[in-house]
A and B are shown apart, each in its own frame.
Chain A
Amino acid sequence: MYAFTYHKPTSARQAATLLAKKEDAKLLAGGHTLLPTMKQRLAAPSALVDLGACADLKGIAVKGRNVVIGAMTTHAEVAASPEVQAAIPALAYLAGHIGDPHVRHRGTIGGSVANNDPAADYPAALLALGATVVTNKRKLSAEEFFTGLYETALDEGEIVTRVSFPVVSRAGYAKFRNPASRYAMVGVFVAKRGGEVRVAVTGAGEGGVFRWPEAEAALKARFAVKSLDGLKHTADGINGDIHADPEYRAHLIGVMAKQAVAQATGK
């Protein structure tokens, strides 16, 4: 790790001011991505602005037909939240299957979406549920927000303040864990909202999270596991690494999609 200055503002506004003032400053949320890269000297911010004391970035609230989660809410808090469990159980399930207990008690939803790791779980939920990312400057749909591998629409100095998830009629998430890291090797989130069905895939795409239109169409016709029979995802554009080559990953998309629908339909 290189030397840096450390700041701990108590509101998002203060954090934004600090971020604007310090050159090469970075926001620190749970630190589970940022700190390891700093320890390995792969990142060298001059200043860290720790969001840990910003009370306005924390907490879970149900507002009308939306579940709104503050950026600094940990995965463990989302997993254990009675509000989330009641409104979108698949989202609580997803949060409860991120990493291990240490990761879930430090890692935050804001850090996760801002980082947009192609193997992270939340991006699939945001995309499938049609969530809105709220920053200190604007509101962005998930499609607008996730722009590529580790890339988001966030501008310099922009802070994710919360994520708003519309409550849907049915949703399910299935994840095939990377055996070593336990990130998603393939994660599929399915959501049915009125007549619309969305299927979002994480962990597998060369460009990060993506939607699977053929599965969406099949499920729109009938929201059942059987509708996915015989449907195969192409291996084109799918990631390969030592744990899974594109062919196997593409196959797992189909398997996980079925499991997600089974969860959503209680079958």
Chain B
Amino acid sequence: MAQNMNELNNQNTVLSVRNVSMNFGGLRALSEVDLDVHPGEVVALIGPNGAGKTTFFNCITGIYTPTEGVVTAYPKTGKPRRINGMRTNLVCELGMARTFQNIRLFPSMTALENVMIGRHCRTKTGILGAVLRGSGTRREEQEVVDKSYEMLTKVGLEKLANEYSRNLPYGAQRRLEIARALATEPFLLLLDEPAAGMNPQETEELKQMVIRIREEFKVSVLLIEHDMKMVMSLSDRIYVMEYGRIISTGTPKEVSEDPQVIRAYLGEDDDA
């Protein structure tokens, strides 16, 4: 890992995963996974159902502690941090925000409030401040509202700001999760199947949105996705996972021509 502190701010890595394995009892869900994300990149992680992709996200966001291996994050400012075993909320505070494969919004909060939750780790009003509601608290609160609303406009949900998130249409809920993650000011956005359940048109819009967000917020994106059209056109690099192992990596073109990948995907069909 980088010993030279002067070089930290022009790192060419934002996330480095080395030799990570995850065992659930006897089940080896991940084995010796290596993965890197460079600044501004969109990296896709693909693989058949049950390959271990979501488990990988859980391992690098502190929801699980990997059995072996090292995960290192390189925030825009500050030292690189080893994040396996770190608490989930601290990983988020460090600047890695995620969405969930099965949407996990806060259903009885409004869309705006859902995004405001994302601002929590960037603000600091405590109990006393909230009760007294002095000028500092009011200013912070207003800033939270404004920033959150801005995030909603980025994902095209500003009209639904005061709707309960449980009442939003499915596609809107997925976009709301992205807005909520963005509100935490991440340097790396982790999207777990953001296009799942969307129709081709919504998927295309989502793709454009991810491109815009990457430009505007200068974030890197790590994406799990089954929609090959989206993956192939959106990602700079792809990792292919099967049975918890990375079996291939490279540009979309390289990966799609890799015989191992073709076997992994077509092999599935043969078995079925």
Task: State yes or no: do A and B come from one complex.
Answer: no
Interface, chain A (partner B; CB < 8 A)? none
Interface, chain B (partner A; CB < 8 A)? none
